[in-house]
Amino acid sequence: MTVELCSECHKYLAISPEGLCNICDEQALQKRSVQIKKEASTEDNDLAYLGKMNQVLREERFEKFEENYLEKLKTSPGILSINFSDSMVKYVIETETLGILDYYPKANKLLIRRQNHWIKPALKWIVTTFIVTKEK
């Protein structure tokens, strides 16, 4: 076993062929996107394979938001509260100036309820509207 830099946690540890340490490798395997990708790789039917890969894309979007942006958004100015609704896989975001937003991370769509206006791609809009302004 070689000791190298883990591409996820950036610590020098024994590294798997995927470039991850044991702990990060374990966490990666538990991700839904990774599990579905594995299922897709054994799928013989083309349509079923495409369906699974579309699901992978949706899960990856969700994971990307939760891993990289959720905590930043919670502390962004103008954000009053963020609540996750399990059944509809959406975040209900209460804002100071735009009222309530329904954000669907898997579909990358967002509804500004007050204006009945849909925004897509939603994550880019969220980042530029609430997160980037904070970091200026």
- Under the rule (CB under 5 A), what is the footprint of Zn ion? 6, 8-9, 21, 24
Between 28 and 112, whose beta carbon lies closer to Zn ion?
Answer: 28
d(CA 120, CA 82): 19
Q: Residue 6: exposed, middle, or buried by beta-carbon count in 10 A (0-12, 13-18, 19+)? A: buried
Nearer to Zn ion, 17 or 77 (CB): 17
The Cα 52–Cα 38 span in angstroms is 10
Residue 27 C-beta: closest distance to Zn ion, Å: 8
Residue 24 CB, nearest distance to Zn ion (Å)? Answer: 3
**Phi and psi based region of residue 19 (left: phi greater than 0; alpha: psi -120 to 50; beta: remaining):** left
* Minimum distance, C-beta of residue 68 to Zn ion, in the bound complex (Å): 16
Is the Cβ of residue 21 or residue 126 nearer to Zn ion in the bound state? Answer: 21
